[in-house]
Chains A and B, each alone.
Chain A
Amino acid sequence: MSSQTFHLPDVGEGLTEAEIVQWRVAPGDTVAVNDVLVEIETAKSLVELPSPFAGTVGELLVDEGVTVEVGAPIIVIADAEGTEAPAPAGADAPGAEGSGAVLVGYGAAGEVASRRRKPARRPAVSAAGVVAKPPVRKLARDLGIDLSAVAPTGEGGEVTRDDVMRHASQASVFRNIETPEWPEVREERIPVAPEVAASAVAPPIQEPSTSPRVAPGAASGREETIPVKGVRKATSSAMVRSAYSAPHVSVWTDVDATRTMELVKRLKASPDFADVKVSPLLIVARAVIWAVRRTPMVNAAWVDLEDGSAEIRLRHYVNLGIAAATPRGLLVPNIKDAQNLNMRELAHALQNLTLTAREGRTTPADQQGGTITITNIGVFGMDAGTPIINPGESGIIAFGAIRQKPWVVDGEVRPRWVTTVSGSFDHRVIDGDGMSRFVADVAAVLEEPALLLD
């Protein structure tokens, strides 16, 4: 026999509280089961509560005039016999606070403090055929992708949005045009039909005289005269020769180069590139080499022969020229057999070339034999240009500034790193579609450097 506590029951189907009006017993009184203990007042009426226990009144836990919630302990009976009503099932739930102790007051429960543990997520039931949610289906349809060709990675075997996007980028990466391997032979000579050669005759080149006609002593005030000699003279000659012999056509395209910027960042952080400068130019250089494989004619040269005919010399190697502004003027040293260099080697080669040029140590041999050139006008803040082809070559790429611009991604306008890839080409050697494809390929690599894995 021990003490038992009587908790305030819900006497009226959903009551939440009651006021203790009058105690009918005092501590020390002997009570039998069903003896009236107390009169309470609920929202509905005055009610007498009979004792569920027989025993001695121990403690009155609530004063008269006080209102308590259903379930609150109101009286202790010592040496008690008898049974109190059990709490309803809901009161056992973890976190449940409520009137709890009243039994059949299944009614007025308090707030549940927390959720019962979450059951483990069950994987989605996979249906026959392709499993994909309607929005994913729409995306695939919008992108022109066959869902059944997409590898699903969802938990339930479903094709996710990411799966579709990944497939889309891969699909655009590996377009139908196959990229041929480098041929064994280093150079092919392609004869040009006489009538084509004839129409391509350039007007006579006006070689600038080696020194300008300038009156000695006239350099002051309104006009300054700078003699043309040395590098400038050579460069000018070359440009004239090129500009007046090769019909230049320029094409350009804007491209989202964000992924290139991300790759450059990663390369910079990579231990393999810790000792060498990495810049977007490296990616452009690799892109150009790759794109040459796919449109080899940009790497060719038109050669007028002495007998009046012409041929196109198609080189199967890339001596990649990089236009460099040096203290002495514009130079175009080239990296020999750049197609054989891996990314690291090319990075080193570029760095060497740049340093050498900056230090004025570029040799004539460095500048001879170039097959295609990149000019980085982005360092000047320019986006695009119509560069002059280096004589003996058929194409030159101008690589513009990469800056944040609004770009449409997934149907939304977002800031992306955008650049323009422009190029001038010798229209005798390459047609519009070829030069466009070439520039597009370079731009494609800037957009998705993973193409270089081809």
Chain B
Amino acid sequence: MTSADTVNVVPADGPDLVRVLAADGTFAPTPAAEPYLDLIEALTEADLETFYRDMAVVRAFDRQATNLQRQGHLALWPPSLGQEAAQVGSARALRPQDHVFPSYREHVVCRIRGVDLIDIIRVMRGVSHGGWDPTDPANGNTHIYTLVLGSQTLHATGYAMGLAFDGRSGTGDPDRDEAVIVYYGDGASSQGDVHEAMVFANSFRTPEVFFLQNNQWAISVPVRTQSPAPLHRRAAGYGMPSVQVDGNDVIASYAVTRRALEEARGGAGPRAIEAMTYRMGAHTTSDDPTKYRTDDEESAWARRDPVARMEAYLRSRGASDAFFADVDAEAAAYAEDIRVRTVALGGIEADGMFAHVYSEPHPLMEQERAWLAEYEASFGEEQA
């Protein structure tokens, strides 16, 4: 494919786009960013460094996981490469009591909330479907990945309804009021469940933020097939405010999410954010982007890389080489640790299949588990 064939290189900025960091890392707020400057100015140097560190470490993790798949250790890996800023910014906007409903690519969101990323590895290695226990407080109220596109938006909405019913939100105390954020993508936004989730959310005025990462591609289908109009404009149709943000700007992503969450938890109803970003890697390791997008496009977006952008910004604020070296070392160590732990992962017992299909005892489970045990044992008895 040549660049003449593609329209979708880098979309032009819309009038509503919130950005504070330009692609080259200079601080250049767009008009739409004005209302958020107070939040941004409240960020400390440590906060900014944390944003960068989060992005760099997960990028190393993501590259390691991709390599592990190429080495036969994982069946599949969906890379988050290129979407670090949208995810770090939004995750860092959450309060501890909030609830997260990811799709299946929000690796750094999970990490920030406390999930051990080896649990994502376990899913991709085929030894677990869910990976981690969403009810364990150590996992920061992070629900497991949902592979059926868009389904989690209904679960998130139902959960948020429950918060509202139980008075766990909207009391006016932001340290206690709980909110829900749900992540989904441009492809999923076409699913009926997403529409229904927004209908229910607005009917019941849920304390909920719909966070759409528009990474421009649903496997090989460009976003213009999902919608010719900007996706964040749909929200108005449901009666909820929305904002479009440059998802490769971690600071802007933080700010818009923070505001949306505070409004939602305060009882103002659900909010929607569209984060414009780019899936710099393939959809998963089974995919081949060379078949449907151009080098030109990928290069153009590489020049808007969120991590490089933040590095440039931090350097402009005086961050030292030592700092970046330290981050690189941490990232490398983290990735190495993931490798070590991945290759050490064991298998699962066959009779585990029956253990948790139901919460209560079930005769067919007992029967089939016993049959399988007896069947396997029968081979052991007949040694030649």
| Cβ–Cβ contact B126 & A13, under 8 A | no
| Cβ–Cβ contact B378 & A33, under 8 A | no
Flag whether A168 is at the interface (Cβ < 8 A). no
SS class of chain A's interface: helix, strand, loop or mixed?
Answer: loop
Which one of A48, A49, A101, A119 has the highest number of Cβ atoms from chain B below 10 Å of its Cβ?
A119
| Cβ–Cβ contact B70 & A10, under 8 A | no
Q: Could you tell me the distance in whole angstroms from the C-beta of A75 to the nearest C-beta in chain B?
A: 12
| Cβ–Cβ contact B72 & A104, under 8 A | yes
Q: Could you tell me the distance in whole angstroms from the C-beta of B217 to the nearest C-beta in chain A?
A: 15
Known A-B contacts A45-B291, A119-B382; the reply to A12 vs B285 at CB < 8 A is yes
- Report Cα–Cα, A11/B75, bound state, in Å: 7
- Report Cα–Cα, A34/B69, bound state, in Å: 11
Nearest B residue to A9, CB-CB: B72
- Report Cα–Cα, A118/B378, bound state, in Å: 8
Q: Could you tell me the distance in whole angstroms from the C-beta of B289 to the nearest C-beta in chain A?
A: 9
Interface of chain B residues 304 through 336 with chain A (CB within 8 A): none
Flag whether A105 is at the interface (Cβ < 8 A). yes
Flag whether B358 is at the interface (Cβ < 8 A). no
Flag whether A68 is at the interface (Cβ < 8 A). no
- Report Cα–Cα, A426/B372, bound state, in Å: 77
| Cβ–Cβ contact B70 & A48, under 8 A | yes
Flag whether A449 is at the interface (Cβ < 8 A). no
Flag whether A120 is at the interface (Cβ < 8 A). yes
Interface of chain B residues 40 through 73 with chain A (CB within 8 A): 63-64, 67, 69-73
| Cβ–Cβ contact A50 & B125, under 8 A | no
Nearest B residue to A15, CB-CB: B286
| Cβ–Cβ contact B76 & A13, under 8 A | yes
Known A-B contacts A33-B339, A104-B125; the reply to A85 vs B384 at CB < 8 A is no
| Cβ–Cβ contact A47 & B73, under 8 A | no
Flag whether A89 is at the interface (Cβ < 8 A). yes
- Report Cα–Cα, A408/B75, bound state, in Å: 66
Interface size, chain B (Cβ < 8 Å): 28
| Cβ–Cβ contact A11 & B70, under 8 A | yes
| Cβ–Cβ contact A49 & B70, under 8 A | yes
Q: Could you tell me the distance in whole angstroms from the C-beta of B241 to the nearest C-beta in chain A?
A: 41
- Report Cα–Cα, A83/B67, bound state, in Å: 13
Known A-B contacts A46-B288, A89-B347, A104-B75; the reply to A120 vs B70 at CB < 8 A is no
Contacts of A6 in B (CB 8 A): 71
| Cβ–Cβ contact A45 & B288, under 8 A | yes
| Cβ–Cβ contact B382 & A46, under 8 A | no
| Cβ–Cβ contact B72 & A7, under 8 A | yes
| Cβ–Cβ contact B126 & A106, under 8 A | yes
| Cβ–Cβ contact A84 & B67, under 8 A | no
- Report Cα–Cα, A168/B63, bound state, in Å: 80
Flag whether A103 is at the interface (Cβ < 8 A). yes
Contacts of B73 in A (CB 8 A): 52, 85, 103-104
CB-CB contacts of B1-38 with A at 8 A, as 1s and 0s?
A: 00000000000000000000000000000000000000
Known A-B contacts A117-B379, A119-B375; the reply to A104 vs B71 at CB < 8 A is no
Nearest A residue to B335, CB-CB: A34
| Cβ–Cβ contact B290 & A46, under 8 A | yes
Flag whether B287 is at the interface (Cβ < 8 A). yes
Flag whether A116 is at the interface (Cβ < 8 A). yes
| Cβ–Cβ contact A117 & B69, under 8 A | no
| Cβ–Cβ contact B74 & A104, under 8 A | yes
Q: Could you tell me the distance in whole angstroms from the C-beta of A73 to the nearest C-beta in chain B?
A: 12
- Report Cα–Cα, A89/B349, bound state, in Å: 11
| Cβ–Cβ contact A106 & B75, under 8 A | yes
Q: Could you tell me the distance in whole angstroms from the C-beta of B352 to the nearest C-beta in chain A?
A: 13
- Report Cα–Cα, A213/B273, bound state, in Å: 143
Flag whether B166 is at the interface (Cβ < 8 A). no
Known A-B contacts A12-B285, A84-B72, A119-B378; the reply to A104 vs B126 at CB < 8 A is yes
| Cβ–Cβ contact B343 & A12, under 8 A | no
- Report Cα–Cα, A410/B161, bound state, in Å: 75
Flag whether B175 is at the interface (Cβ < 8 A). no
Partner of B67, one of A7, A34, A106, A120: A34
Flag whether B136 is at the interface (Cβ < 8 A). no
CB-CB contacts of A32-68 with B at 8 A, as 1s and 0s?
A: 0110000000001111111110000000000000000
- Report Cα–Cα, A435/B62, bound state, in Å: 103
Interface size, chain A (Cβ < 8 Å): 33
CB-CB contacts of B78-110 with A at 8 A, as 1s and 0s?
A: 000000000000000000000000000000000
| Cβ–Cβ contact B72 & A13, under 8 A | no
| Cβ–Cβ contact B70 & A116, under 8 A | no
Flag whether B360 is at the interface (Cβ < 8 A). no
Flag whether A102 is at the interface (Cβ < 8 A). yes
- Report Cα–Cα, A12/B287, bound state, in Å: 8
Partner of A9, one of B70, B287, B290, B384: B70
- Report Cα–Cα, A9/B73, bound state, in Å: 9
Contacts of A44 in B (CB 8 A): 286-288
Which one of B290, B291, B343, B375 has the highest number of Cβ atoms from chain A below 10 Å of its Cβ?
B343
CB-CB contacts of A253-264 with B at 8 A, as 1s and 0s?
A: 000000000000
Interface of chain A residues 165 through 216 with chain B (CB within 8 A): none
Nearest A residue to B383, CB-CB: A117
Contacts of A7 in B (CB 8 A): 72
Q: Could you tell me the distance in whole angstroms from the C-beta of A116 to the nearest C-beta in chain B?
A: 6
Q: Could you tell me the distance in whole angstroms from the C-beta of A16 to the nearest C-beta in chain B?
A: 14
Partner of A85, one of B72, B291, B382: B72
Contacts of B339 in A (CB 8 A): 33
Partner of A50, one of B67, B126, B382: B67
| Cβ–Cβ contact A118 & B70, under 8 A | no
| Cβ–Cβ contact A13 & B378, under 8 A | no
| Cβ–Cβ contact B70 & A50, under 8 A | yes
Contacts of A103 in B (CB 8 A): 72-73, 125
| Cβ–Cβ contact B379 & A119, under 8 A | yes
Nearest A residue to B63, CB-CB: A34
Contacts of A84 in B (CB 8 A): 71-72
| Cβ–Cβ contact A12 & B72, under 8 A | no
Interface of chain B residues 363 through 377 with chain A (CB within 8 A): 375
Known A-B contacts A11-B285, A45-B290, A83-B343; the reply to A116 vs B71 at CB < 8 A is no
- Report Cα–Cα, A189/B67, bound state, in Å: 115
Contacts of B63 in A (CB 8 A): 34
| Cβ–Cβ contact B382 & A13, under 8 A | no
Q: Could you tell me the distance in whole angstroms from the C-beta of B221 to the nearest C-beta in chain A?
A: 17
| Cβ–Cβ contact B378 & A50, under 8 A | no
- Report Cα–Cα, A105/B74, bound state, in Å: 8
Contacts of A85 in B (CB 8 A): 71-73, 343
Can you list 6 contacts pairing A with B, beta carbon distance less than 8 Å? A9-B72, A11-B70, A12-B285, A46-B290, A116-B379, A120-B378
Shortest Cβ-Cβ A-B pairs, 10 listed: A45-B288, A9-B72, A119-B378, A85-B72, A104-B75, A83-B343, A52-B71, A50-B67, A12-B286, A85-B73
Contacts A46-B288, A104-B75 given; 5 further ones with Cβ under 8 A? A51-B71, A102-B72, A104-B125, A106-B75, A119-B375
